[in-house]
Amino acid sequence: MTKDEFYLARGKLGKTQKQLAELLGVSIRTVHSYEQGWRNIPEHTEKYLYFLLINQKARKEEVVPCWERKNCTEKEKCPAWEFDSGHMCWYICGTRCECTKDACKHQKIVICKKCDIFKSLLR
Ligand code: SF4
Ligand code: SF4
């Protein structure tokens, strides 16, 4: 995640640096460092921000589950379906999408960030 993506995410969440620091469990100095590009943003922090953003959206509007959007024929074998997480498929490892089924957790988020379903969840 770039510093600009981080800054945009904070804006979408509607949080001050102090509020976001509390949510992330880090110091305000750390949030400031992420936004200035002085520190790399860890993968777990990036995923946590997406988790917050997507759940914020899901609270405001109905989110169509991935299996409906993709007319998925694999859903019954997929943990996203098993755990009723059609808006959190990007977070769960072992999903059965052709592009992610053999990916490790580090590769998976890179692949999912290019997926139209993930992008639409952040819109
Ligand atoms: S994450 Fe699972 S249920 Fe969702 S589209 Fe991919 S294979 Fe289907
Ligand atoms: S590629 Fe990733 S974001 Fe897209 S549907 Fe599959 S698991 Fe979800």
* Same domain for 49 and 86: no
* Same domain for 91 and 38: no
Which atom of ligand 1 sits closest to the CA of residue 89?
Answer: 1
Task: Compute the distance from residue 97 Cα to the ligand 1 centre, in Å.
Answer: 5
CA-nearest residue for atom 6, ligand 1, is 97
- Residue 21 Cβ contacting ligand 2 at under 6 Å: no
* Same domain for 73 and 52: no
Q: Could you report the per-residue pLDDT of 54-83, keeping only the tens digit for each?
A: 999 999 999 999 999 999 999 999 999 999
Task: Report CA-CA distances (Å) from 102 to 7, 96, 106, 112.
Answer: 32, 9, 11, 13
Supply the pLDDT for residue 100.
83
Domain limits for position 123: 62-123
User: Per-residue pLDDT averaged across 1-28, rounded?
Assistant: 96
Supply the pLDDT for residue 101.
84
Task: Report CA-CA distances (Å) from 43 to 47, 48, 53.
Answer: 6, 9, 15
- Residue 80 Cβ contacting ligand 1 at under 6 Å: yes
Task: Compute the distance from residue 32 Cα to the ligand 1 centre, in Å.
Answer: 36
- Residue 92 Cβ contacting ligand 2 at under 6 Å: no
Q: What's the total number of domains in the chain?
A: 2
Quickly state the pLDDT bin for 118 (edges 50, 70, 90): very high
Quickly state the pLDDT bin for 31 (edges 50, 70, 90): very high
CB 118 within 8 A of CB 112: yes
* Same domain for 123 and 73: yes
Identity of the residue numbered 29? R
* Same domain for 82 and 57: no
Nearest to 48 by CA among 67, 81, 20: 20
CA distance 83 to 94: 12
Q: DSSP per residue over 38-96, as a string?
A: SSPPPHHHHHHHHHHHHHHHHHHS----HHHHTT-SSGGG-HHHHTT-TT-TTTSTT--
Q: Among 44, 61, 78, where does a domain finish?
A: 61
Q: Could you report the per-residue pLDDT of 76-112, keeping only the tens digit for each?
A: 999 999 999 999 999 999 999 988 888 998 999 999 9
